[in-house]
Chains A and B, each alone.
Chain A
């Protein structure tokens, strides 16, 4: 190849490499998992259905935004008995509050592809400000965004009444998510 061809290729490639903005979420490669302790026993669960809208340009992270809407009926709470129980008034009160939402308000770059995302989590009609660390991993076909935070279930009235006893079901719920997105 002649040097001019190289220059041409570089010019063509450059805008694409810099202007990539991840907007298309790949649900099959994305997940929301959680883990909590019940009588000292770690119990794993997750949500199978959630809709994510996002925009992230590594060149302009402060302009990034994300909105996640979780269908609470898609819960796996560790057992079918717990799945059913979680729908009730003492837990998610799912007939009144079928969804949980997270809406980002601010993204700050921490360096090394790590970011801090602030936003509001609304669950069971209660909204709380959350600070969520997210790491960005560019990939060949899709980028992945991994993050996690500890949610205190009682802040949202999840598990009220007799279930408020944190010695049986811990207050802390470790939430972990992975969002895969492409720039197409």
Chain B
């Protein structure tokens, strides 16, 4: 077998770069919300928002790439329900990678704080200051994030299961190795 078993390099780079950002942004978000007001809290909020905007920007690039490049096929022996589940989870991960930064951006506007990427590039406030809406969006943001957490756990667990239990070269699909595998 010499099928292409690896995602294209840009797809791999985007996958891991976004994974890194999400793995930094998520715990940061959980940690920062309960802090008492301080300059550090303001900094962490800004970093969190910068990460979120970066994810938002990268997911656009990634989607464009995903729509033009077909991913490597799944192993032949894989059950139909697993293929379907894989497609659904991947689809939902994309939806969340868009919806989570978007909900954060809107929340920030509703709470009266414009989002300024890296303190330099201001994003427009799509909605005005509205305390009740801000609180609602905070709940939405949180709910979406915990949904993401559940899906990421599922995503990682599935990849590990295929790789280690079913002994399919699964992790290489998102790895740095040579493109052709036998």
Contact = CB atoms under 8 A, between A and B. Distances in A.
Interface of A: 38-44, 78-79, 81-82, 85, 162-163, 165, 168-169
A184 to B, nearest CB: 36
Contact of B113 (A43, A168, A169): A43
Nearest to B121: A40
Choose among B45, B119, B120 the residue with the greatest number of A CB atoms under 10 Å from its CB: B119
Choose among A41, A42, A85 the residue with the greatest number of B CB atoms under 10 Å from its CB: A41
Contact of B111 (A40, A44, A79): A79
B42 interface: yes
A46 to B, nearest CB: 12
A165 B42 CA distance: 12
B43 interface: yes
Contacts of A40: 46, 116, 118-120
B112 A39 contact: no
B104 to A, nearest CB: 14
Nearest to B108: A41
Report the contact-size class of chain B (Cβ under 8 Å from the partner).
Answer: 10 to 19
The A contact surface, by secondary structure, is mixed
B39 A165 contact: yes
B114 interface: yes
Contacts of A169: 39, 42
5 contacts: A38-B113, A40-B116, A41-B114, A168-B39, A169-B39
A41 B50 CA distance: 12
Interface in B28-59: 37-39, 42-43, 45-46
Interface string B127-138: 000000000000
B37 A82 contact: yes
A153 B46 CA distance: 22
A34 to B, nearest CB: 14
B113 A162 contact: no
A81 B111 CA distance: 11
Contact of B38 (A38, A43, A44, A162): A162
